[in-house]
């Protein structure tokens, strides 16, 4: 494994992990993007398994997490707009330069998958396909009653807390991780409306998502309360021009207590399914 500094157009940097196959530089490269509040290093077991399965792998970093040069604190504002407009393009172009012979696939987890879909709706030529793992539309209607009402109330409470504090102290309250107030506000808007309306951007992401032509593997994790089937379908229903394949991932009984993250280590069946998807 090597690391590379990726610099976005606004000067933000992150150290990303690169795993190459020197025996086959044309092997597909999977660009793994983490869930909200999750460092890239958490995905090391998955990246190692994908490398053993014949892929090349890049593990990116969401702004404000891990090796990102942006530190979450009061007054530091960034949201969907900055990540989709600056960070994803810089990463995908760096991967294109580093792996010039390899087809590129997004492997996005949760928020990393949602924002990856927004990015690829603008630049679909930058990838050959997308694997979205536990990546739901956060619209509250995608959750069963009464959890949907808890989603609606919880995110708006989180947005209020973030407004008062100037950031969201997720680690202190035990949910979502530390993040920018704007990220929380962007997510709360999507929870309420079901639409990706991104402040500071005049891009109509709903229209672009409807025309994104890429093949997509949408993975629903059995028992995942953070990305239930209705939420995953809610995002995929926006991809009206994509060839979407749905697959339910069943984890071993002894898997990590969090189904949303347990697949990162209990990854054998996912790796096999990704191999089949890419080969097809």
Residue 35 belongs to a domain with what CATH number? 3.40.50.1820
Vertex 100: Cα angle to 5 and 50 (nearest 5): 75
Give residue 259's pLDDT.
Answer: 87
> Rounded distance, CA 9 to CA 112, Å?
19
Please indicate, yes or no, if residue 188 is contained in any of the structural domains.
no
DSSP-derived 3-state class of residue 218: strand
Task: Report residue 257's pLDDT band, with 50, 70 and 90 as the boundaries.
Answer: low
Q: Which two tokens stand for residue 205?
A: 């992401």
> Rounded distance, CA 190 to CA 196, Å?
6
- What count of Cα atoms within 13 Å lies in the side-chain half-sphere of residue 171? 9
Please indicate, yes or no, if residue 13 is contained in any of the structural domains.
yes
Please indicate, yes or no, if residue 218 is contained in any of the structural domains.
yes
**Each residue's pLDDT tens digit, 102-152:** 999 999 999 999 999 999 999 999 999 999 999 999 999 999 999 999 999
- Residue 206 and residue 193 in contact, taking contact as beta carbons nearer than 8 Å: no
Task: Report residue 64's pLDDT band, with 50, 70 and 90 as the boundaries.
Answer: very high
Give residue 116's pLDDT.
Answer: 98
Q: Residue 209: how many CB atoms within 10 A of its CB?
A: 23
**Each residue's pLDDT tens digit, 65-92:** 999 999 999 888 899 999 999 999 999 9
Strands (E), 75-170: 104-109, 129-133, 167-169
Q: Compute the mean pLDDT over every residue in the chain, rounded to the nearest whole number.
A: 94
Q: Residue 153: how many CB atoms within 10 A of its CB?
A: 12
Please indicate, yes or no, if residue 185 is contained in any of the structural domains.
no
Please indicate, yes or no, if residue 163 is contained in any of the structural domains.
no
Q: Report CA-CA distances (Å) from 10 to 66, 78, 97, 251, 271.
A: 18, 12, 20, 40, 35
Please indicate, yes or no, if residue 161 is contained in any of the structural domains.
no
Please indicate, yes or no, if residue 109 is contained in any of the structural domains.
yes
Please indicate, yes or no, if residue 148 is contained in any of the structural domains.
no
pTM, two decimal places: 0.95
Going by their DSSP bridges, the two strands 2-7 and 13-19 should be labelled as: antiparallel
Domain span holding position 108: 2-137+204-279
**Each residue's pLDDT tens digit, 183-222:** 999 999 999 999 998 877 889 999 999 999 999 999 999 9
**Domain count within the chain:** 1
């Amino acid at each position: 494994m090597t690391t590379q500094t990726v610099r976005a157009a606004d000067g933000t940097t992150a150290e990303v992990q690169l795993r190459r196959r020197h025996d086959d530089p044309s092997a597909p490269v999977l660009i793994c993007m983490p869930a909200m509040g999750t460092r890239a290093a958490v995905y090391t077991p998955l990246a190692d398994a994908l490398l053993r399965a014949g892929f090349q792998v890049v593990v990116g970093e969401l702004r404000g997490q891990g090796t990102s040069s942006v530190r979450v604190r009061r007054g530091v504002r960034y949201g969907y707009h900055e990540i989709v407009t600056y960070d994803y393009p810089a990463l995908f172009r760096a991967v294109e330069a580093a792996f010039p012979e390899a087809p590129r696939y997004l492997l996005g987890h949760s928020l990393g998958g949602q924002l990856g879909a927004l990015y690829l709706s603008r630049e679909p030529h930058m990838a050959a396909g997308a694997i979205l793992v536990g990546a739901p539309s956060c619209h509250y209607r995608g959750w069963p009653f009464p959890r949907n009402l808890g989603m609606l109330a919880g995110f708006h409470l989180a947005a209020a807390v973030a407004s008062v504090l100037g950031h969201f102290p997720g680690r202190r309250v035990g949910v979502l991780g530390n993040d920018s107030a704007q990220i929380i506000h962007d997510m709360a808007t999507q929870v309420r409306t079901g639409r990706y309306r991104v402040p500071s951007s005049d891009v109509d992401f709903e229209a672009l998502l409807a025309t994104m032509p890429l093949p997509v593997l949408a993975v629903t994790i059995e028992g995942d309360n953070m990305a239930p089937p209705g939420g995953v379908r809610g995002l995929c229903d926006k991809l009206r021009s994509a060839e979407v394949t749905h697959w339910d991932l069943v984890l071993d009984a002894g898997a990590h207590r969090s189904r949303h993250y347990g697949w990162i280590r209990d990854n054998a069946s996912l790796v096999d399914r990704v191999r089949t998807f890419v080969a097809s």
